[in-house]
């Protein structure tokens, strides 16, 4: 069995930047699946966030037709803040002998040292970092050092061991961000061609990104 990809995020809302990145990583790394894990309690966020139930519904709609994309709603079944290290710990217990790859964009990787118990993540999973427009791979500091210690260019090393390596890779660069989408949706603009139609339909029918005036 190949590695399982784990793609966490607020997905507020999910868009083609997430989906295309996940598909390219699935194919390039021969992952068995990409597991989308929406964050239930994004307590680190202070910008507008729609109800978790909507974000979850949109992720489910987005991946419905894509084989090997699955939605994992475990963070919605737990109380309190959603910490990646806890989710990874549970996935590791459920899959004791499978390689796990935590997938993230370069912007998220640059914030890694602020994550709760971040240093334990490498004991649970590999970290796969996808380039994202506007962000540069760190050469210095704690992350630069981590990359020198644990970085690999060999996708095979993500298969040959269960955790601990860091793989940084280009993907098709799509300059789509959920923050910008929320702003344009609130202004009444159409998100067509930036996300699947199934997600667009939920947004338009619910009006969930239009703030009450």
For residue 101, what are its two tokens? 């790859």
Nearer to ligand ATP, 130 or 185 (CB): 130
Which H or E run contains 206?
Answer: helix 197-206
Using the contact rule CB under 6 A, the part of the chain among 56-64, 69-77, 176-184, 198-206 near ligand ATP is 176-184
Nearer to ligand ATP, 158 or 195 (CB): 195
In the stretch 66-105, what mask flags binding to ligand ATP with x, by CB under 6 A?
A: --------------------------------------xx
Using the contact rule CB under 6 A, the part of the chain among 59-67, 141-149, 153-161, 177-185 near ligand ATP is 177-185
Question: What backbone phi and psi angles, to 5 degrees, belong to 71?
Answer: -105, 135
In the stretch 19-58, what mask flags binding to ligand ATP with x, by CB under 6 A?
A: --x-------------------------------------
- Rama region for 41: left / alpha / beta (φ>0; ψ in -120 to 50; rest): beta
- Kindly state the smallest distance separating residue 22's Cβ from ligand ATP, in Å: 9
Number of residues engaging ligand ATP in binding (CB under 6 A): 17
Q: For 138-197, give the DSSP string.
A: --SHHHHHHHHHHB-S-THHHHHSSS--EEEE--------HHHHHHHHHTT---TTSS-H
Measured CA to CA, the distance from residue 39 to residue 83 in angstroms comes to 8
3-state secondary structure of 103: strand
Tell which residue, 209, 163, 196, has the closest CA to residue 18: 196
Query: Is position 107 an interface residue for ligand ATP (rule: CB under 6 A)?
Result: yes
Please select the residue that binds ligand ATP; options are 35, 60, 126, 132, rule is CB under 6 A.
Answer: 132
- Kindly state the smallest distance separating residue 58's Cβ from ligand ATP, in Å: 11
For residue 13, what are its two tokens? 């809302």
The residues that touch ligand ATP, with contacts defined as CB under 6 A, are 9-11, 17-18, 21, 104-105, 107-108, 130, 132, 174, 176-179
């Amino acid at each position: 069995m190949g590695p399982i990809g784990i793609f966490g995020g607020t997905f507020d809302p999910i868009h083609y930047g997430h989906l295309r990145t996940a598909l390219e990583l699935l194919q390039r790394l021969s992952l068995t699946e990409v597991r989308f894990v929406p964050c239930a309690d994004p307590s680190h966020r202070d910008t507008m966030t729609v109800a978790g139930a909507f974000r979850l519904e949109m992720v489910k709609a987005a991946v419905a037709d894509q084989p090997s994309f699955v939605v994992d709603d475990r963070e919605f079944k737990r109380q309190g803040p959603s910490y990646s290290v806890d989710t990874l710990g549970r996935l590791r217990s459920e899959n004791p002998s499978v390689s796990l790859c935590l997938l993230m964009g370069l912007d998220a990787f640059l914030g890694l040292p602020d994550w709760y118990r971040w240093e334990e993540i490498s004991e649970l999973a590999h970290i796969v970092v996808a380039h994202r427009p506007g962000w540069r791979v760190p050469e210095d500091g704690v992350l630069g050092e981590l990359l020198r210690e644990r970085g690999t260019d060999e996708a095979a090393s993500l298969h040959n061991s269960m955790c601990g390596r860091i793989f940084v890779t280009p993907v098709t660069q799509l300059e789509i961000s959920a923050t910008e989408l929320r702003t344009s949706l609130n202004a009444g603009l159409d998100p067509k061609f930036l996300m699947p139609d199934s997600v667009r339909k939920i947004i338009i029918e619910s009006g969930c990104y239009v703030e009450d005036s």
